[in-house]
A = this chain, B = another copy of it.
Amino acid sequence: MNKMLGKRAVSAHQKNLRREALLTAARELFVEAGFFDVSMAMIAKRAAMAKGTVYLYYKTKEELFLELSRRDLEIWFEDLISKLQNLPENPETHAFVKAVMATLEGRQTAIRLLSLLHLVLEQNVSREEVLNFKLDLLNHSEIAGAEIERVLPFVHQGQGVEILAAIHCQIIGWGQMTDISPVVNEVLEDKRLSPLRIDFAASLQTSLLCMVEGIKKLSSP
């Protein structure tokens, strides 16, 4: 038994501590080994709980990781919104992109979770959980979207959320293309393959820059 958590979580507060402990354990293991190679048994052990206990808090492995994604996304959104708020109106495109890029620094885990989200996390989860997740996502998206609309004057109303989705899309895309397995890494050391070696940050920054410039151009008559 985890001494820190006490014997039984009776109060809502204690239950939240348990949930938090599980998420922390899951995140650590996810970083170390990836989603597929982490088992519920490992998570339980790391969180100093019994296997069965995990299921009192999360009905499936996917639900646990979906919650983890929600937390990470929430933090990211808050960071993004805050950084956008600090931008002057109609900034250099470059400044806008830099701000977005800054929100991704040190967020490898969140980026990897984003890639898993659609492929695995939204499976084997109840309607209700998905709905809550999506409502949460929408909520944050709309706030961040509005902020984008405020900052970039050439973005018309409602387009903010779409731009957010496009950013999301590129994070997933570049994320996957650069989050490669050790074997691939080794193979890519072959000189002939140098054109296929891609840097996440550089590629994302460039493509975001193009995107924003493109939007700007297409918006003005």
Contacts and interface: CB of A to CB of B under 8 A. Distances in A.
Given A169-B203, A207-B166, A118 B177 contact: yes
Interface string A185-206: 0111010110110100001001
A211 interface: yes
A173 B169 contact: yes
A41 interface: no
Given A169-B207, A214-B213, A190 B131 contact: yes
Q: Would you call the interface of chain A mostly helix, strand, loop, or mixed?
A: helix
Contact of A213 (B116, B117, B174, B213): B213
A109 interface: no
Contact of A176 (B134, B172, B181): B172
The 7 closest A-B pairs by CB, nearest first: A210-B214, A169-B173, A214-B214, A173-B173, A213-B214, A118-B176, A172-B173
A137 interface: yes
B209 A218 contact: yes
A56 interface: no
Interface in A124-159: 125-127, 130-131, 134-135, 137-138, 141-142, 158
Interface of A: 36, 115-120, 122-123, 125-127, 130-131, 134-135, 137-138, 141-142, 158, 161-162, 165-166, 168-174, 176-177, 179-181, 183-184, 186-188, 190, 192-193, 195-196, 198, 203, 206-207, 209-215, 217-218
Nearest to A213: B214
Contact of A195 (B119, B130, B138): B138
A25 B98 CA distance: 47
A135 B188 CA distance: 10
Contacts of A215: 210, 214
A177 B169 contact: yes
Contacts of A120: 36
Contacts of A158: 195
A210 B211 contact: yes
A183 B115 contact: no
Residue from the set A118, A170, A173, A212 with the largest chain B CB neighbour count within 10 Å: A173
